[in-house]
Amino acid sequence: MLIIGSSNARVGIPLGMAILRRGGSALDAVEAAIRAVESNPDDHTVGLGGLPNVLGVVELDASIMNGATRAAGAVAGVRGIEHPISLARRVMQDLPHVLLVGEGAERFAEECGFEQTELLTPEARDIYLRGLRGEENTPYAGLAARAMVHRLAMQPERASGKDAGTVNVLALDQDGNICAGVSTSGFAWKYPGRVGDSAVIGAGNYCDGRYGAAACTGRGEMAIRGATARTIVLGLAQGLSPEEAGGRAMADLDLIPDNYFSTMNCVILAPDGRHAGFSTVENQIYVGMDEHSREVESWPRTYMPVSARGQ
């Protein structure tokens, strides 16, 4: 039994591990862990308190994938739903589809009984407004103004120097099943309707019970272009270790030039419990617990800078 995730998953990892210890499924553990992150108003990259798009509206993306069957569900550009990870799970379980976006996803949420919630907290609104004004007392200043000019989004985790963009959670239950989940408010000040890798199966999330799971945080455009999560799991399928498979997929990103000083991070879990984490930023960690852990543990991510820029 094991549950790992991005550093901001720390608030949900003990909940997920408690479910695994009770004999619960990896699917339930991942959903519960991510719901705790989505409800954390201090995390400005996920769920309640997430930073909004350039018009000041919070739009959320999430996905979940069950390694036992490779069933997957995802939602993108969803407004007013505090727990998009649970909505993604309902898509997976109740519909013959994988991905619902915008109004359709919100309609489905209403049918499923999800409540509408105001997700833009006063603190997130202040950061958004300060960023628009380019004030210097926010880590997002300047970058936000540039995002406005170019009508492009930027990365709060890079601006703040923290690995806090998007949440990844991967779990392995006592039956040996693996599940992977991802949830995000996406890039702050993003263009309305922009969808990142978190909702794209194969990009920010992939899980195959035979070989393992991988999930990404960072600039989603990179993971979409590199099909990064799927690339990692294909490496595992070819017999590479999590460290080798992650290293190869991260190195592959070097061949994707981009102008936005993009960061990329991933976490990887094999069915035998081996795990790894990578980042294009130095000194980053990922976190987790196994059945013996008394508290959330952390491990360093392997540093892999992306060097190809500006093409």
- On whether the CB atoms of residues 113 and 135 are closer than 8 A, the answer is no
- Nearer Cβ to ligand GLY, position 86 or 185? 185
Based on the shown chain and the rule CB under 6 A, indicate whether residue 206 belongs to the binding site for ligand GLY: no
Of 10, 37, 6, the residue nearest 293 (C-alpha): 10
Q: Do 131 and 112 form a contact (C-beta atoms < 8 A)?
A: no
Give the shortest CB-184-to-ligand GLY separation in angstroms. 4
Cα torsion angle, 200, 201, 202, 205, sign: positive
Cα–Cα distance, 140 to 117 (Å, whole number): 25
Answer for which of 197, 202, 214, 226 binds ligand GLY (CB under 6 A) is 197
Q: Report the residue from 12, 196, 226, 277 that binds ligand GLY according to the rule CB under 6 A.
A: 196
Instruction: Give the residue with the Cβ less far from ligand GLY, 1 or 200.
Output: 200
CA within 13 Å, CB half, 180: 35
The answer for residues whose C-beta is within 8 angstroms of residue 9's C-beta and 6 or more apart is: 33, 34, 37, 167, 168, 169, 287
Interacting span for ligand GLY (CB under 6 A) from 82-90, 98-106, 192-200, 279-287? 192-200
**3-class SS of residue 76:** strand
Q: Could you give the string, one character per residue 219-248, with x where binding to ligand GLY holds by CB under 6 A and - elsewhere?
A: xx----------------------------
Continuous segment of H or E residues that includes residue 88: helix 84-94
Report CA 116 to chain centroid distance, whole Å: 22
Question: Is 286 one of the binding residues for ligand GLY (CB under 6 A)?
Answer: no
Options 217-225, 239-247, 267-275, 285-293: segment touching ligand GLY (CB under 6 A): 217-225
Is residue 186 near ligand GLY by the rule CB under 6 A?
yes
C-beta of 20 vs 167, nearer to ligand GLY:
167
Token digits of residue 183:
């949830």
The verdict on 166 binding ligand GLY (CB under 6 A) reads yes
Q: Which residue in 204, 226, 235, 246 binds ligand GLY (CB under 6 A)?
A: 204
CB 5 within 8 A of CB 288: yes
Residues 28-57 that bind ligand GLY (CB under 6 A): none
Contact (Cβ atoms closer than 8 angstroms) between residue 61 and residue 46 = no
Count of positions on this chain that bind ligand GLY (CB under 6 A) = 12
Q: How far is the CB of 113 from ligand GLY (least distance, A)?
A: 27
Residues carrying an active site annotation: 166
Query: Least Å distance between CB 168 and ligand GLY?
Result: 9
**217 touches ligand GLY (CB under 6 A):** yes
Distances in Å between the Cα of 208 and the Cα atoms of 168, 182, 232 are: 16, 15, 11
**Alpha-carbon span 204 to 62, nearest angstrom:** 10
Q: Which residues of the chain form contacts with ligand GLY (CB under 6 A)?
A: 166, 184, 186-187, 196-198, 204, 217-220
